[in-house]
Structure 1
């Protein structure tokens, strides 16, 4: 049986968390001055760390400083206090970084020996 589309040798593992983080960042603009902003910070910091791990696995080191900065700025343990306008600008910039990283980070996949025998 002929396989029409071969399995790709890479996966975009950062795409789903990148898009999710961008959605959360854009929705989070409304939460900047509320008490929910702390919970929001946890979500963004965790998603940035996850994508940082994917960038490390893909050996795309140039993404690591951007995600380290996002983890530090949105860190809820030692919060960085900025005014509302600065947070709004940072939310939009971080959303662009998350989407770009999700599209561009490709983790190499090892071929599955079981699928090669078929």
Structure 2
């Protein structure tokens, strides 16, 4: 599980970098009069930074199998974020709703990629506990 613990820390660092980028992007969007998209983007950043902060000192997962199941579930959520974002973005609704949808899509894509990296780096036999 040492590999999992090490890769989980690396994942949290990558998520923090993405969140910092999203926070800046949200501020830029707000400054460009794209208020709802800016708020949505910044909100995702803040939530992800809270997750990073709460997870940083946490214990590594006790069960490799449960960890892998959680990652698979999370990937399903990431796909759902993308689908909901696309649905809202393409909907014939108010501009703010569409803007929020388009703001969700890159967040879902980024999380899909980041979680995919974590899955790939913890899928080797050396990541599984022995004995």
TM-score, normalised to structure 1's length?
Answer: 0.36
Query: Normalized per residue, which structure has more helix?
Result: 2
Query: Relative CO higher for 1 or 2, CA cutoff 8 Å, sep ≥ 6?
Result: 1
